[in-house]
Structure 1
Amino acid sequence: MDVSSFVLLSHEQALRRQLDVTANNMANSSTVGFKREQPLFHEYVEKVQEAPVDDAKKTSFVLDFGAVHDAAQGAFQATGNPLDVMIDGSGYLNVEAPGGGVAYTRAGFIKVLETGELATAGGQRLLDANGRPITVPREQISSITIAQDGTVMAADGPVGRIAISAFASETQVDPRGDGLMNGSNGRFLAPTEARLKIGGVEASNVQPIVETTKMVEILRAYQTSVAISDSMNSMRQRAIERLGKM
């Protein structure tokens, strides 16, 4: 394969990555708290010492550099459950990760376990700023409410406050599956900074029409790349045939 074929191959691999990300966005258009992803690419320039013309001494390739999240907030989706919450603004709920440690989520479906501990719909226990589960006395479970700053109130007063962590950049947060995220270098939001909407959750910020349009554009770009590759192969074949006649 010559250099042009490698350039086209890198372009087609980038398009494949874009298609995978777009398809994943489409699949999660109804997933609570899901943030659409955008692939991130870098240009890699390779230089050679000799070439027929100066412009041919530099060759640009496309490199997959990962994906970033669109931090735009999804719409409020009322559920009728007074314990469900939506973070109004940036930040993530702190939950206990499967296997230990801390994970982060925007999915605010909240329930009370038999132990009296608050947990997400997936069973991950909600944590406070000290990394401890928030437990409500069993006899007071029916009276609990959640304030806009994340404070959990029971009949006898507050029993804890849900920790909400914010990150300077969405590149510090990576999906780990089941609506959970890994994160690094986050900071806890103070009660005056945290804002929760009660009685509902955050809908996905994916816009199906936008993603469908993007998918069509990707497919057209791929078809164009394949057509160029076919044309180049035909040119090589004709050149070989002419050389053979000479």
Structure 2
Amino acid sequence: MNHSMINSSVSMHALQQKLDLVANNIANVNTTGYKRKEASFQDVLTSIQQQPRGFQKDGRMSPLGYNQGWGAKMVSSQLNLAQGSLQATDSPLDMAIEGNGLFEISTISLDANNTPVQQTRWTRSGAFQLSPSVDPQDPDSMFLTTKDGQYVMGVDNAPIRVPKNHTVKIDADGNIMAYNEGDKGAPPVQAGQVKLMRVVRPQLLQQLGDNLYGLPSDITPQQQGEILQTVTQGNNNVDPITVRQGFLEQSNVNLSDEMSELLTVQRAFQLNSRAVSSADTMMNLANNLRA
């Protein structure tokens, strides 16, 4: 197999991965809180092809030899956490994050032995609702959950509990005050504070589907603090992260940019495929030569 065929076939594989990434961004253009992904590429291998001494001429300052590439590969896909536009809604339970932050939620999944395991996940989507308590001893409480029933965590690392028949008001820091609908004169109840996490190293977050993010399984608690940092009143002065009640953040995907990127990738893929066809045609001609 000649060099041009190797170069083109390797690059086509990387371009296919890039094409899948762009297609995923386009598919989620209307997904609440979705963050677009960007690809990073690097050379697979670059070698120096030596030239005969006959190419050395008087006065030539550059050394003999030229760089020869062997294609490129996609090394990583990174999240672009740029702020999406905010859309007002009619629900007081909808929240949008302004800044480089995530909501923390608790999910239940099954391990290898089909045993339910509680796991911590993070999301940018603030489309929340109130779900009734499953505890028969606590029938007067509602829990703040996602649309899939996953608990929204508070700063006390416990699910946020809201009394029944109460409306909520949420300030910029995520504090939830519950007001009794039946007794307008009753003082509000502090229902909790939404736990917000600042993203320090977004390239280490893993997309798990359903608009959820996770961390690698082999990461230590100390390393987790270097990726996600709990937002507190003391560290929220620089690059603040705030909550907007009654709003949902839209996807930060720009459809026109993604379509332009899609056309560019398709043209590059087409160019490399033609290079493979041309190399195959030349090899076929060489094989059919007769002395």
The question of a shared fold, defined as TM-score above 0.5 by the shorter chain, is answered with yes
- 1:154 maps to 178
- The DSSP-based 3-state class of the residue aligned with 1:113 is strand
Displacement, 1:109? 0.7
- 1:167 maps to 199
- 1:122 maps to 148
How far apart in 2 are the matches of 1:111 and 1:21? Answer: 31
In terms of fraction of residues, the more helix-rich structure is: 1
Q: Which one of the candidate residues 203, 210, 214 is aligned to 2:250?
A: 203
- 2:231 maps to 189
Q: Give the % identical residues.
A: 25
Normalised by the size of structure 1, how large is the TM-score? 0.90
Letter of the structure 2 residue corresponding to residue 11 of structure 1: S
How far apart in 2 are the matches of 1:230 and 1:91? Answer: 48
How far apart in 2 are the matches of 1:6 and 1:215? Answer: 24
Q: Which one of the candidate residues 262, 265, 282 is aligned to 1:215?
A: 262
- 1:31 maps to 31
- The DSSP-based 3-state class of the residue aligned with 2:280 is helix
How far apart in 1 are the matches of 2:123 and 2:195? Answer: 11
Post-superposition CA distance 1:69-107 (Å, at most 9, x none): 111111001111112110011100000123212111111
- The DSSP-based 3-state class of the residue aligned with 2:70 is strand
- The DSSP-based 3-state class of the residue aligned with 2:105 is strand
Q: Indicate conservation of the 8 Å contact 1:150/1:194, yes or no.
A: no
Letter of the structure 1 residue corresponding to residue 208 of structure 2: R
Unaligned runs of 5+ residues in structure 1 are none
- 2:99 maps to 89
- 1:235 maps to 282
Deviates more, 1:60-69 or 1:13-22: 60-69
Displacement, 1:240? 2.6
Displacement, 1:51? 5.5
How far apart in 2 are the matches of 1:131 and 1:60? Answer: 50
Q: Which one of the candidate residues 169, 185, 195 is aligned to 1:145?
A: 169
Deviates more, 1:23-32 or 1:50-59: 50-59
Over the aligned positions, Cα root-mean-square deviation in angstroms equals 2.0
Normalised by the size of structure 2, how large is the TM-score? 0.77
Displacement, 1:58? 4.6
In terms of fraction of residues, the more strand-rich structure is: 2
How far apart in 1 are the matches of 2:6 and 2:108? Answer: 42
Unaligned runs of 5+ residues in structure 2 are 53-63, 110-117, 134-141, 180-187, 216-223
Letter of the structure 2 residue corresponding to residue 60 of structure 1: W
Which of structure 1's runs of 4+ aligned residues deviate more than 6 A?
Answer: none
Letter of the structure 1 residue corresponding to residue 205 of structure 2: V
- The DSSP-based 3-state class of the residue aligned with 1:14 is helix
Q: Which one of the candidate residues 63, 80, 84 is aligned to 2:73?
A: 63
How far apart in 2 are the matches of 1:33 and 1:200? Answer: 11
Displacement, 1:19? 0.7
How far apart in 2 are the matches of 1:187 and 1:19? Answer: 33
Post-superposition CA distance 1:113-165 (Å, at most 9, x none): 11211011221110013321011122xx4232211110111234312111010
Greater radius of gyration (CA)? 2
Displacement, 1:52? 5.7
How far apart in 1 are the matches of 2:8 and 2:65? Answer: 18
